[in-house]
Amino acid sequence: MKQQKLKLAGAVVAAATIALSIPAQAQQWPNKPVRIVVPFGAGGGTDIQGRLLGQKFQQSMGQNFLVENRSGASGLIGTEFVVRAAPDGYNILFTTASLAVNSVLYAKRLKFNPLTDLEPVSWVSSVPLVLVVHPSVPAKNLKEFVALAKRPNSNLIAAHNGAGTTSHLSVEMLKLFAGAQVTPVPYKGGGPSIVAQISGESDFHFGTALAVQPFIKSGKARGIAVTTAKRSSSFPDLPTMNSMFPDFEADNWYAMFFPKGTPKDIVAKLNAEIIKALKSPDVDGFIRKEGGEPVGSTPEALADYFKREAEKYTKVINAAKIVID
């Protein structure tokens, strides 16, 4: 009996030691360089935004935050790398809304679950898609456009950036929520699809804010609405799609995640650093220049939002019967 009591006491001491070591580890974090994994190529909006944030973290915490580009498989290669990494705070995933889409599109192929195998840290920024039409389309506002798109045999052609992209899914949401009679046509990326739209090869397009902005200003495209839940400061005169269809929302958001199981104190510390960095003029200015809005959120808010995004895209992808080979 005495031996059993000693074993029990030893187990209690060991558990207490482990519990105390986690906050201590968090207080010391980071004590070596931290990797920010961007699951896309260098030079894009995700990469640049990630590097700006890394610089802010380095200045604030006195440790190197190094961006590493691990592109491929629509961002899933870099994501899996972080999922498999040790949950010690030294590998961060900085990714986009494509993760919510791809968790549905590639669900049968994935060897991990983005919804359960990642630790949300913060929603970083929100970037709308903009519904733009060719000047020849006889619709001056959202109400007129929807009425036109709902006509039987409307023959409106919708250029999009490729199967499964948010540009494509926005067209499918228009069909699903508005009953639009339109034909989606895929192009190899945002550049070719906006060229098709402004040339008159297609009638409308859901394009990234940065890509369509110069064409709206030049009169080569007419802005109709934005897809984010709130109006965009870059397009203050354009209504939101959800002002007419409450479930219509497509946000090209950016967010940070840790591997699942990362100590809560480390998550909270990085969350606070993100909120602080988003208030700096250079980070705020870059995001707004890209047509976006700085956000910042609690880890819990990001977790809830990520789940809702996956559920929304599941409905849209299933309704549209989108299958990626």
Q: What is the pLDDT of residues 159-174, one digit of tens each?
A: 999 888 999 999 999 9
For 316, counting Cβ atoms within 10 Å of its Cβ (0-12 exposed, 13-18 middle, 19+ buried), the class is buried
Confidence of residue 324 (pLDDT cuts 50, 70, 90): confident
Domain boundary among 243, 271, 304: 243
Adjacent-strand bridge partners of 145: none
Q: Report yes or no: 66 and 36 within 8 Å, Cβ to Cβ.
A: yes
Pair 134, 117 in one domain: no
Residue with token string 């679950």: 113
Segment 208-213 shows an average pLDDT of 90
88 is a domain residue = yes
Pair 113, 258 in one domain: yes
Between 21-30, 83-92, 102-111, the lowest mean confidence (pLDDT) is in: 21-30
Confidence of residue 13 (pLDDT cuts 50, 70, 90): very low
User: So what's the pLDDT on residue 121?
Assistant: 98
Of 299 and 290, the structure prediction assigns the larger pLDDT to 299
User: In whole angstroms, what separates CA 260 from the centre of its chain?
Assistant: 19
Kind of pairing, strands 182-186 and 293-294?
Answer: unpaired
Segment 319-323 shows an average pLDDT of 91
212 is a domain residue = yes
Which of 125, 159, 131 is CA-nearest to residue 238? 131
Residue-number span of the structural domain to which 64 is assigned: 31-126+252-318
Pair 176, 84 in one domain: no
Pair 141, 74 in one domain: no
Indicate the residue type of 220: K
The set of residues, in sequence order, having a beta carbon less than 8 Å from that of 162 and lying 6+ positions away, is: 168, 186, 187, 188, 189
- State how far the Cα of 152 lies from the Cα of 137, in Å rounded to an integer: 16
Confidence of residue 24 (pLDDT cuts 50, 70, 90): low
> In the chain, how many domains are there?
2
281 is a domain residue = yes
The pLDDT of residue 45 is above 80: yes
User: So what's the pLDDT on residue 5?
Assistant: 46
User: So what's the pLDDT on residue 11?
Assistant: 45
Residue with token string 């990469």: 47
pTM recorded for the entire structure: 0.87
The pLDDT of residue 264 is above 80: yes
Domain boundary among 224, 243, 262: 243
User: So what's the pLDDT on residue 7?
Assistant: 45
Q: Give the CATH number of the domain where residue 258 resides.
A: 3.40.190.150
User: So what's the pLDDT on residue 245?
Assistant: 96
Where helices occur in the chain by DSSP H, the ranges are 2-28, 45-61, 76-84, 98-105, 142-150, 166-178, 190-198, 209-218, 264-278, 281-289, 299-320
Pair 201, 53 in one domain: no
Pair 91, 121 in one domain: yes
The set of residues, in sequence order, having a beta carbon less than 8 Å from that of 234 and lying 6+ positions away, is: 128, 209, 213, 288, 291, 292
The pLDDT of residue 178 is above 70: yes
Segment 62-87 shows an average pLDDT of 96
Q: Report yes or no: 92 and 37 within 8 Å, Cβ to Cβ.
A: yes
The pLDDT of residue 250 is above 70: yes
Residue 279 DSSP one-character state: T
Looking at the chain, the whole-number percentage of residues with pLDDT higher than 90 is 82
Pair 225, 87 in one domain: no
- State how far the Cα of 235 lies from the Cα of 226, in Å rounded to an integer: 8
Pair 137, 169 in one domain: yes
Pair 235, 258 in one domain: no
User: So what's the pLDDT on residue 80?
Assistant: 97
Pair 163, 239 in one domain: yes
55 is a domain residue = yes
Segment 48-71 shows an average pLDDT of 96
Segment 80-96 shows an average pLDDT of 98
Confidence of residue 26 (pLDDT cuts 50, 70, 90): low
Pair 119, 44 in one domain: yes
The pLDDT of residue 16 is above 90: no
Pair 273, 200 in one domain: no
Segment 299-322 shows an average pLDDT of 95
